[in-house]
Amino acid sequence: MIVVVAGGEVDPEALRRAVSGARWILAADGGAAHLRAIGVLPHRVIGDLDSMDPETLAWLEVHGVPIERHPVDKDATDLELALDHARTLGTTIRVFGAWGSRLDQTLASLLLLAHPRWAGCDIRFVGEGREAFVIREEDWIEGEPGDRVSLIPLIGDTEGVTLEGLFYPLTEGTLPFAATLGVSNRLIAPRARVRVRRGLLLVIHERGEG
d(CA 10, CA 126): 9
Q: Is the pLDDT of residue 209 over 80?
A: no
Give percent of the chain with pLDDT exceeding 90. Answer: 90
Q: Is the pLDDT of residue 160 over 90?
A: yes
- Give residue-wise pLDDT tens across range 144-159: 999 999 999 999 999 9
For residue 24, the one-letter residue type is W
Q: Is the pLDDT of residue 210 over 70?
A: no
Task: Tell me what pLDDT residue 128 has.
Answer: 80
Model pTM score: 0.92
Q: Is 110 helix (H, G, I), strand (E, B) or coil?
A: helix
Task: Tell me what pLDDT residue 45 has.
Answer: 98
* For the chain, domain boundaries: 2-128, 135-206
Yes or no: domain 135-206 corresponds to CATH 2.60.40.1120:
no
- Averaged confidence pLDDT in the chain: 95
Burial class (CB in 10 A: 0-12, 13-18, 19+), 149: buried
> Do 158 and 196 form a contact (C-beta atoms < 8 A)?
yes
For residue 29, the one-letter residue type is D
Task: Tell me what pLDDT residue 101 has.
Answer: 80
Q: How far is CA 51 from CA 31, 101, 192, in A?
A: 9, 14, 39
- Cα angle 145, 202, 14 (rounded to 5 degrees) comes to 60
Average pLDDT over residues 50-71: 96
Query: How many residues belong to the chain?
Result: 210
Task: Tell me what pLDDT residue 100 has.
Answer: 79
Yes or no: domain 2-128 corresponds to CATH 3.30.360.10:
no
Task: Tell me what pLDDT residue 68 has.
Answer: 97
> Do 94 and 24 form a contact (C-beta atoms < 8 A)?
no
d(CA 67, CA 43): 9
Average pLDDT over residues 175-204: 97
Task: Tell me what pLDDT residue 144 has.
Answer: 96
Poorest-pLDDT segment among 3-7, 59-63, 114-118: 114-118
- Give residue-wise pLDDT tens across range 78-107: 999 999 999 999 999 999 999 878 899 899
Confidence of residue 6 (pLDDT cuts 50, 70, 90): very high
Task: Tell me what pLDDT residue 143 has.
Answer: 96
